[in-house]
Structure 1
Amino acid sequence: MANETDLEQINEAILEAIIEMYKILKISVEDSTLKLRNLNENNYEVLFGDWRYNFSSKNLALTCDIYKSLKRGLNQKVVSFSLYGTNERYYKLISHTSEMIKKFYPNHSMRIYHDDSINKSIICQLECANSHIDFCNIHKKPLSLDNFDQVLNLNYIHSMMWRFLPIGDTFVDLFHSRDLDSVILQREIDSVQVWLNSNNIGHIMRDNPQHGPLILGGMWGLKTNQDRKLSNEVYNLIIDKKLSQIYNPGGKSLRDHDQYFLAHHVFYKINWKSTVHDSFSCKRNPNSKPFPTQRKGNCFVGQVGWCNETSTNFFECPKECRPINHQDWKSC
């Protein structure tokens, strides 16, 4: 028969097993509590209301907090943004942008990567009213499924590169990097749709004579599930502290340095397997194609603020950058 000491050890073992098997995230949404169950060494089960799914923790990388990541499950599609500071320029379009994402990017979530410098009142204001929005704190990148308090502070990364983080997220299959001060246009969606209908892994847009960078920080995307090795390689460069000293010197998030990173470490990896739409610099940049639909007014993808679809005041695009069957599109 087991003595008292043996029984205590057995009880402790049972208790430890129960704690290990069921880790409950202490957040509820519409009375549904999300539970994380450890099946064995690397395999987990998530229960969220009537929904459940399994995943492996081997080589797992999550770039938004655990609860927000797990509640959406695997194979996520993400439109990603960076937000920092309190400049009204980056706040006034958020509500409109969230509506446009809901309309034009069905089955996508809107991730807003931020630090502690933002106006925090908008977090609940937007998340509570929009089920597709997730605010992701870059100070708290999750590192462990066993200890939810174990996090990595990514504040050493250039702030405009936070929006690139989904590229290495195990739960994300498709991501688009965008700017919070730009309006989503039908022209953008037409370009995205051509890309999604292709076998190309990457997407690059340039739509203004001043769009000189090889990749603009808010005008590209990647089908990360098509090449996890490539996606993880880029992700590891993004979070590399030594590289951050080059692209974020002094932690000042200098203008255009995110695009220097993309030019040096992303463009040549994806250009020849990307859908590239370029309305002005197609002669200079290889593998470029005309945008699939004609420009309206003075609107262009990546424009800051609102545009005028009836304006006739815009640059004439080179004939080489016009569709072959639409050489009459002076504004292409």
Structure 2
Amino acid sequence: MIEIRRTKSAELLAPLRAAVDSLQPVKELSALIENILSDVPTSQYAGCSAKIGYLLRDSKVPMYYPIAVTCLKNVVHKFQGQERLPVVSNLSYLSWKLKHFDDARLYGNEATILREEQAMRRGFTKRLVVFSLYGSDPAYCETLIINAQCMQEIYPGWTMRVYHDHTVPHHLIPRLTALGVECINVANINAGHFPGTFWRFLALEDDCDAVIFRDADSIINPREQRLVNIWLESDKPFHVMRDWYSHSDLILAGMWGVRHGLLAAIRIWMEKYVSQGNLHPTHADQYFLAEYVWPRIKPYMLHHSSVLDVFEAQWPEDLPRHYIVEGLNHCLGSWQLIERKPNTDKPYKIRILDENNHELCDYSFPAGKTFELPKSYHEAIESGRWRLEVTEQHLVSVSLPGGGQSMATVNVNRHKSA
């Protein structure tokens, strides 16, 4: 690093400033500069000579420009990396003013490259895998836990983020937070009026290098990781994936991504779309993406499609187009859930306990309601490693002090598994 001591430098350059202000002839000014530099320690010479060049450039006095160029050229080799930027930038300007166009181009090229390096270092670095969550269905809540546990393997260095509301189970947010997940309550960002599936799109308001959107009931995996890495290595700012014959929506809401902080106006488009009313009960997010996002990104996207050959679709030759596990096709965006039917006709509550008898989670359901668990949970329960408890919930009438009646829920632990 070039050493420049500001106080000492200011004292040394004071006579030079006075000479420039009084428009001293070039010969006298050159002699003064030579005298100033002769008193400067070797460690400060390059910095002081550069500051003289800057001072003469800023004077806007053309007769001093050749002296400024000499001062800067004599020491430019002493500067490395970003320290070279002000030197070569000033040399480019001065060379242009002196009509030395080859030098102006040479130094201008270097200054532009250095500025680009500077901008990229200050640029977007955060990468997000984003989900929406609302309600207390274990098919979504517990699959999110699995996704959080997979992050380090599938997306190392990325951050998982979940947009949620007050309807999620009491135990879920602390569990996600403990796994390093960013949890954002939509009430805190004025987003509760949007449909829940839209919330995740608000991650585009952040300055991020990459944001990918996923569904809470599907598990991130190496298959999608491969496609995302190919996208990141490309020059395309948008990514769209489809992996089955039914994936005919223009953008599947849980299978796309954006780079470089683009689409930051997403909230404005969401407001316009939602204000129209008559939203589809299950696919409004994908209809919104088709109307507001697809026309903007189509020319600039990398499109991966395993079976539908449209929109310049690509697919890696060494990645199977059908991912078969135990006879079942596991396409991207699919879920791995097992339905369970409790042996009760009453409202009930389930508790899942691990091999150490620690409670992992609990959920309540109305009478007759079945529930789904992630396949890995089902297997852990069936193998006896985990335990599923089902507790019936009965409403009973109770007497209040001073008279009167009220209804209360009584848990009856009649079923140990479901």
Same fold (TM over 0.5): yes
Please name the residue that 2:195 is paired with: 158
* Equivalent residue number for residue 289 of structure 1: 314
Instruction: Confirm or deny that 1:275 pairs with 2:302.
Output: yes
Secondary structure of the residue aligned to 1:126 is helix
Please give the alpha-carbon distance, in whole angstroms, between the structure 2 residues aligned to 1:101 and 1:247: 37
Q: Distance in 2 between matches of 1:248 and 1:85?
A: 22
2:265 aligns to what SS in structure 1?
helix
In structure 2, the residue matched to 1:136 is 184
Determine the C-alpha separation between the residues in 1 that align with 2:235 and 2:266: 20
Partner of 1:255: 282
Once the two structures are superposed, residues 256-310 of structure 1 have per-residue CA deviations (whole angstroms, 9 ceiling, x without a partner) of: 110000001111211221111112222xx312112451133112110112699xx
The answer to whether 1:168 aligns with 2:213 is no
User: In the alignment, does 2:251 pair up with 1:184?
Assistant: no
Equivalent position to 1:302, from 316, 323, 333? 333
Structure 2 distance, partners of 1:212, 1:167, is 24
CA 1:257–1:92 in structure 2 vs 1: closer, same or farther (change >3 Å)? same
In 2 relative to 1, CA 126–272 (structure 1 residues): closer, same or farther, beyond 3 Å? same
Distance change >3 Å, CA 207–CA 103, structure 1 → 2: same
One of 215, 228, 245 as aligned partner of 2:275: 245
For residue 80 of structure 1, report the CA deviation from its aligned partner. 0.2
Which among 264, 286, 310 is matched to residue 232 of structure 1? 264
Matched, 1:122 2:149: no
Select the residue among 221, 227, 232 that pairs with 1:196: 232
Q: In proportion to residue count, which structure has more helix? A: 2
SS of 1:236's partner is helix
Tell me what 2:28 maps to.
none
Tell me how far 1:180 sits from its aligned partner: 1.2
For 2:316 and 2:239, the matched residues in 1 are separated by: 12
Q: Give per-residue Cα distances to partners, 1:298-325, cap 9 Å, x unaligned.
A: 12110112699xxxxxxxxxxxxxxxxx
Alpha-carbon distance between aligned partners in 2 of 1:86 and 1:166, rounded to the nearest angstrom: 23
C-alpha distance in 2 between matches for 1:116 and 1:243: 24
* Separation of aligned partners in 1, 2:220 and 2:133: 17
Tell me, yes or no, if the aligned pair for 2:201 and 2:266 is still in contact at 8 Å.
no
Q: Distance in 2 between matches of 1:248 and 1:99?
A: 38
Please give the per-residue CA displacement for 1:209-241, whole angstroms capped at 9, x wherever unaligned: 11110000000000033xx4xx12334212x2x
The normalised TM-score by structure 2 is 0.48
SS at match of 2:287: helix
Gaps in structure 1 of 5+ consecutive residues: 1-72, 142-152, 309-332
1:74 deviation in Å? 6.4
Structure-1 separation of matches of 2:278 and 2:211: 23
SS at match of 1:232: coil
Q: Deviations over 1:21-49 (max 9, x none)?
A: xxxxxxxxxxxxxxxxxxxxxxxxxxxxx
Distance in 2, matches of 1:233 and 1:93, equals 30
Please report the RMSD computed on the Cα atoms of aligned residues, expressed in angstroms: 2.2
How far off its partner does 1:247 sit?
6.2
Greater relative CO, 1 or 2 (CA 8 Å, sep 6+): 1
Q: Is the 8 A contact 1:208 1:279 kept in 2?
A: yes
Write the deviation string for residues 59-84 of structure 1: whole angstroms up to 9, x where unpaired: xxxxxxxxxxxxxx963211000000
1:107-160: CA deviation from partner (whole Å, max 9, x where unpaired): 1111010011111321112212x22x011001101xxxxxxxxxxx21111210
Residues 163 and 177 of structure 1 are in contact (CA less than 8 Å); yes or no, is this contact kept in structure 2? yes
Amino acid at match of 2:187: H
Q: Which of these two proteins has the greater Rg computed from alpha carbons?
A: 2
CA pair 278-77 structure 1, distance change in 2 beyond 3 A: same
* SS in structure 2 at match of 1:266: helix
Looking at structure 1, the residues matched to 147 and 253 of structure 2 have their Cα atoms a distance apart, in angstroms, of 17
1:14 equivalent in structure 2: none
Residues 156-203 of structure 1: CA distance to partner in whole angstroms, max 9, x if unpaired? 112101111111113x22100001111222111111011000000000
- Superposition deviation, residue 95 in structure 1: 2.1
Equivalent pair of 2:202/2:266 in contact (CA under 8 Å): no
Structure 2 gap segments, 5+ residues each: 1-122, 338-373, 376-418
Counterpart CA distance in 1 for 2:163 and 2:211 is 13
**Whole-Å Cα distance in 2 between the matches of residues 81 and 202 of structure 1?**
18
